Amino acid sequence: MARRLATALTSTDPRVAAGRSPSPWWQTAVVYQVYLRSFADSNGDGIGDLAGLRSRLPYLAWLGVDALWINPHYPSGGADGGYDIVDYRAVDPDYGDVADLEGLVKDARRLGLRVVLDVVPNHTSDRHPWFSAAVADPDSPEAARYHFAPPSEEPPNNWQSLFGGPAWSRTADGRWYLHLFSPEQPDLNWREPAVAADFERTLRFWLDRGVSGFRVDVAYGLFKDAALRDNPGSYAPTLFGHGPEQAMTWNQPEVHDVWRRWRAVCDEYPDTMLVGEVCLADLEQVALYSRPDEMHQSLSFRLLKSPWATEPFAEAVQSALDAFGGVGAPVSWVLGNHDKERQVTRFGGGAVGTARARAAALLMLALPGSAYVYAGDELGLPQAAVPDEAKLDPIFFRSGGARVGRDGCRVPMPWNDSDGVGFSPEGAAPAWLPIPADWQQYAVSRQTRDGGSTLTLYRRALALRAAHPALAAGDATVSTRGDVLTVRCVGESETVRCLVNMGAETVLVGCSGSVLLTSTVSVRHSAGSVALPPNSAVWVVED
Ligand code: GLC
Ligand code: CA
């Protein structure tokens, strides 16, 4: 970590002296996703906050990440985990204030960490002053900033909310308004220039406070079909993302101009970046959002959505390398986030799920590009069983309980062995989501002392990734043979091979070199071969 930050922050880098410009930091960064509400509670109200995060920055520096991305910290209506924003240029009192954010950025800098914020341009909260004004007066300038339709029996078109049910709800006076997510998240009308102007102000507001960029929520949204025509089909949640069946709601060509303008704003602030959430089925379309004059990168969700088997994983890696390579952007790999079931559980749960999650981490951290690590994945947290009465996710409610919702991956972090696992100070209010009774076993304090823990594995992997540029900055080729997936990462001075056994039997792989790291102690290595147990991975520096 220290090495890469130094290259980005100073001109004393040997490569600069040699006449070569160092790569921008974000190209190979490990970005740690902080679910703010669940990270660390400083004042005992059971809610994670900026002061809590600030106190835990040394942990993130120790772990070896390069940057943190914080889920929305803005005043919010609380209908969708902070993704329904009331004021884009403020901090929710639950989390602190703008001075806390500035203090966080300064402390992070001192520790060599950068801070990336979440920005949500597709929709506001229904409690945003613009929406209140729009509801109060259909002829107000604010009403033009949303999608309203006059009263009628049927909604204006067949669009569905991603959280379930129609994408249109009615105001008290009978007008329809569009919300592609929950009714508390009215969609903005980006054909109205005041909307774009206000977001540029928001970007500058935070960039002026020293943040290093933004994760852009629903970056494939914003513009809708100008005539709001019916979609040809309904979205099937099994897809990798939206496709032609949703052609009228997403991925309108006009949106790319927004990213060009935002890129120009970021270009005024050195070393800042934009990373987009672009959930489209066609990866070539996703990559277009990261053309050289648009966002710096777009999150690649293929690994996150692939079942545990060599072919889907190889396809996930290769297709991302091809698509992003085609526009000259690095891939931003993702194995977990606040919207998806935790890896350990997704990959089968228990010992098997844990072994697979550890192996997958070594795979992701070897691949060229940046890697996004979701808070708690470095602890091997499983999906928590959140009782229905404690759930808060609108997906659970809007589907009438048919979809379990995302609360189980948003449960607070276990820090130590105490009853409350150290999330809040002693004697605090209960945590905002219940922490399972047996989570002390995953606590940071325990795993720090355990040389075989998932936390130790992540820390070693991050240190090695920083020390071996073939990892993260190499040229990768992917191949499969039986149950073994191989990624060969060719750097300037060495080649590192990542082997992953995704099958149920131990496999002997011919491979000479020295072992850098293994996901389990039971990997056996002798001259010329590696015996890989089921669900394990190894990094080998080739001779
Ligand atoms: C993104 C966020 C998700 C949120 C949605 C609506 O997909 O990751 O958590 O619910 O956008 O803002
Ligand atoms: Ca708190």
Q: Which two tokens stand for residue 57?
A: 């920055």
The CATH number of the domain holding residue 156 is: 3.90.400.10
For residue 122, give the ligand 1 atom closest to its CA: 12
Report how far residue 54's alpha carbon sits from residue 115's, in angstroms, rounded to the nearest whole number.
Answer: 11
pLDDT above 60 (res 19): no
Q: What confidence category does residue 1 fall into, taking pLDDT thresholds of 50, 70 and 90?
A: very low
Minimal CA–CA distance to 369: which of 21, 26, 8, 20?
26
Q: What confidence category does residue 11 fall into, taking pLDDT thresholds of 50, 70 and 90?
A: very low
- From 118, 278, 339, mutation site for ligand 1 pocket: most ligand atoms within 8 A of C-beta: 339
Residues 164 and 292 in one domain: no
Pocket of ligand 1 (CB under 6 A): 80-81, 83, 120, 181, 217-218, 277, 338-339
Residues 118 and 146 in one domain: no
For residue 80, give the ligand 1 atom closest to its CA: 10
Could you tell me the distance, in angstroms and rounded to a whole number, from the CA of residue 84 to the centre of ligand 1?
9
- Quick check: 128 and 86 in contact, CB under 8 A? yes
Instruction: Let me know if residue 226 belongs to a domain.
Output: yes
Q: What is the bridge-based pairing of β-strands 114-119 and 67-70?
A: parallel
Residues 70 and 160 in one domain: no
Closest residue to atom 12 of ligand 1, CA basis: 83
Instruction: Let me know if residue 427 belongs to a domain.
Output: no
Instruction: Let me know if residue 76 belongs to a domain.
Output: yes
Q: Is the dihedral of CA 375, 377, 378, 381 positive or negative?
A: positive
Read off the pLDDT of residues 334-382 as tens digits, 9 standing for 90 and up.
999 999 999 999 999 999 999 999 999 999 999 999 999 999 999 999 9
Could you tell me the distance, in angstroms and rounded to a whole number, from the CA of residue 95 to the centre of ligand 1?
19
- From 70, 217, 340, 396, mutation site for ligand 1 pocket: most ligand atoms within 8 A of C-beta: 217
Minimal CA–CA distance to 144: which of 88, 184, 189?
189
Residue whose entry in the numeric block shows the structure tokens 């040809």: 232
Could you tell me the distance, in angstroms and rounded to a whole number, from the CA of residue 95 to the centre of ligand 2?
6
Residues 220 and 301 in one domain: yes
- Point out the ligand nearest to the CA of residue 46: 2
Mean pLDDT, to the nearest integer, of 432-438? 96
Residues 349 and 447 in one domain: yes
Instruction: Let me know if residue 65 belongs to a domain.
Output: yes
pLDDT above 50 (res 6): no
pLDDT above 60 (res 10): no
Could you tell me the distance, in angstroms and rounded to a whole number, from the CA of residue 351 to the centre of ligand 1?
30
- Point out the ligand nearest to the CA of residue 53: 2
Instruction: Let me know if residue 454 belongs to a domain.
Output: yes
Could you tell me the distance, in angstroms and rounded to a whole number, from the CA of residue 38 to the centre of ligand 2?
10
The CATH number of the domain holding residue 495 is: 2.60.40.1180
Report the pLDDT value the prediction gives residue 374, as an integer from 0 to 100.
Answer: 98
For residue 123, give the ligand 1 atom closest to its CA: 12
Report how far residue 424's alpha carbon sits from residue 52's, in angstroms, rounded to the nearest whole number.
Answer: 9
Closest residue to atom 4 of ligand 1, CA basis: 83
- Which residue pairs from 80-83 have beta carbons closer than 8 angstroms and sit at least 24 positions apart in sequence? 80/163, 80/181, 80/182, 80/184, 80/185, 80/393, 80/394, 81/37, 81/338, 81/392, 81/393, 81/406, 81/410, 82/36, 82/37, 82/118, 83/120, 83/123, 83/181, 83/185, 83/217
Q: What confidence category does residue 530 fall into, taking pLDDT thresholds of 50, 70 and 90?
A: very high
For residue 337, give the ligand 1 atom closest to its CA: 8
Could you tell me the distance, in angstroms and rounded to a whole number, from the CA of residue 12 to the centre of ligand 1?
40
Report how far residue 57's alpha carbon sits from residue 106's, in angstroms, rounded to the nearest whole number.
Answer: 11
Report how far residue 120's alpha carbon sits from residue 86's, in angstroms, rounded to the nearest whole number.
Answer: 11
- Sequence length of the chain is 543
Q: What is the bridge-based pairing of β-strands 148-149 and 168-170?
A: unpaired
Read off the pLDDT of residues 222-277 as tens digits, 9 standing for 90 and up.
999 999 999 999 888 777 899 999 999 999 999 999 999 999 999 999 999 999 99
Q: In angstroms, how far is CA 215 from the centroid of its own chain?
A: 8
Report how far residue 228's alpha carbon sits from residue 275's, in angstroms, rounded to the nearest whole number.
Answer: 28
Minimal CA–CA distance to 180: which of 117, 242, 253?
242
Residues 199 and 171 in one domain: no
Q: What confidence category does residue 87 fall into, taking pLDDT thresholds of 50, 70 and 90?
A: very high
Could you tell me the distance, in angstroms and rounded to a whole number, from the CA of residue 460 to the centre of ligand 2?
31
Q: Is 268 a catalytic residue?
A: yes
For residue 339, give the ligand 1 atom closest to its CA: 9
Report how far residue 97's alpha carbon sits from residue 81's, in angstroms, rounded to the nearest whole number.
Answer: 18
Exposed/middle/buried for residue 164 (C-beta within 10 Å: 0-12, 13-18, 19+): middle
Closest residue to atom 8 of ligand 1, CA basis: 339
Residues 154 and 303 in one domain: no
Print the domain residue range for 70: 3-125+191-388+442-462
- Point out the ligand nearest to the CA of residue 93: 2
Report how far residue 9's alpha carbon sits from residue 42's, in angstroms, rounded to the nearest whole number.
Answer: 31
Q: What confidence category does residue 214 fall into, taking pLDDT thresholds of 50, 70 and 90?
A: very high
Report the pLDDT value the prediction gives residue 196, as an integer from 0 to 100.
Answer: 98
The CATH number of the domain holding residue 300 is: 3.20.20.80
| Residue 457 per-residue DSSP state | H
> Residue 365: helix, strand or coil by DSSP?
helix
pLDDT above 60 (res 2): no
Residues 360 and 493 in one domain: no
Q: Which residues of 231-261 are buried (b: 16+ CB within 10 A; e: fewer)?
A: beeebeeeebbbbeebebbbbbeebbebbee
Domain count, the chain: 3
Instruction: Let me know if residue 402 belongs to a domain.
Output: no
Report the pLDDT value the prediction gives residue 101, as an integer from 0 to 100.
Answer: 98
Provide DSSP, 217-280: TTTT-S---TT-PPPSS---TTSSSB-GGGTTTS--TTHHHHHHHHHHHHHTSTT-EEEE---B
Report the pLDDT value the prediction gives residue 21, as an integer from 0 to 100.
Answer: 66
For residue 83, give the ligand 1 atom closest to its CA: 12
Could you tell me the distance, in angstroms and rounded to a whole number, from the CA of residue 366 to the centre of ligand 1?
28
Residues 55 and 28 in one domain: yes
Residues 454 and 520 in one domain: no
- Point out the ligand nearest to the CA of residue 50: 2
Report the pLDDT value the prediction gives residue 384, as an integer from 0 to 100.
Answer: 98
Contacts for 415 with CB less than 8 Å, ≥ 6 apart? 40, 56, 421, 422, 423, 443, 444, 445
| Residue 540 per-residue DSSP state | E
Residues 83 and 138 in one domain: no
pLDDT above 60 (res 315): yes
Report the pLDDT value the prediction gives residue 13, as an integer from 0 to 100.
Answer: 44
Q: Is 217 a catalytic residue?
A: yes
- From 37, 83, 396, mutation site for ligand 1 pocket: most ligand atoms within 8 A of C-beta: 83
For residue 394, give the ligand 1 atom closest to its CA: 10
Instruction: Let me know if residue 394 belongs to a domain.
Output: no
Q: What confidence category does residue 521 fall into, taking pLDDT thresholds of 50, 70 and 90?
A: confident
- From 34, 84, 122, 181, mutation site for ligand 1 pocket: most ligand atoms within 8 A of C-beta: 181
Residues 143 and 32 in one domain: no
Report the pLDDT value the prediction gives residue 279, as an integer from 0 to 100.
Answer: 96
Contacts for 313 with CB less than 8 Å, ≥ 6 apart? 303, 306, 363, 485, 500, 502
Closest residue to atom 3 of ligand 1, CA basis: 339
Could you tell me the distance, in angstroms and rounded to a whole number, from the CA of residue 208 to the centre of ligand 1?
26
217, 277, 378, 393: the catalytic one is 217
Residue 136, amino acid? A
Mean pLDDT, to the nearest integer, of 38-53? 98
Q: Which residues of 106-116 are buried (b: 16+ CB within 10 A; e: fewer)?
A: ebbeeebbbbb
Q: What backbone phi and psi angles, to 5 degrees, belong to 334?
A: -135, 130
Q: What confidence category does residue 18 fall into, taking pLDDT thresholds of 50, 70 and 90?
A: low
Contacts for 194 with CB less than 8 Å, ≥ 6 apart? 141, 144, 145
Q: Which two tokens stand for residue 39?
A: 């990270």
| Rg of the chain (C-alpha set) | 23
Closest residue to atom 2 of ligand 1, CA basis: 217
Minimal CA–CA distance to 328: which of 277, 362, 293, 303?
293
254, 268, 271, 293: the catalytic one is 268
Instruction: Let me know if residue 96 belongs to a domain.
Output: yes
Q: Which two tokens stand for residue 402?
A: 């048919």
